[in-house]
Amino acid sequence: MPLSDKQISDRLRAALDALGTEPGETLRGNTAIEVVRSITATVSVQHTLAVETDAEQVDIFRKP
């Protein structure tokens, strides 16, 4: 069954929560976790904006 926008928002929020805010122990680990946090946060914000404006596409390359 397809996920609703609410379910997607909830999962994106859960992913951000799971990623936490702690730095990585190594430079490569920290780089990876910071990139994933940034991408996940951007997708989450753009999804929220798309839902609020009733847009059919999520524009992850546009700054909010």
> What pLDDT score was predicted for residue 57?
74
Domain locations in the chain?
5-53
pTM greater than 0.95 (yes/no): no
Query: Could you tell me the two tokens for 56?
Result: 């059919």
5 and 47 Cβ atoms separated by less than 8 Å: yes
**Tens digit of pLDDT per residue, the chain (64 long)?**
999 999 999 999 999 999 999 999 999 999 999 999 999 999 999 899 889 988 877 776 655 5
Q: What is the distance between the alpha carbons of residues 63 and 19, in angstroms, rounded to a whole number?
A: 22
Residue-level pLDDT at 1: 95
pLDDT at 56: 79
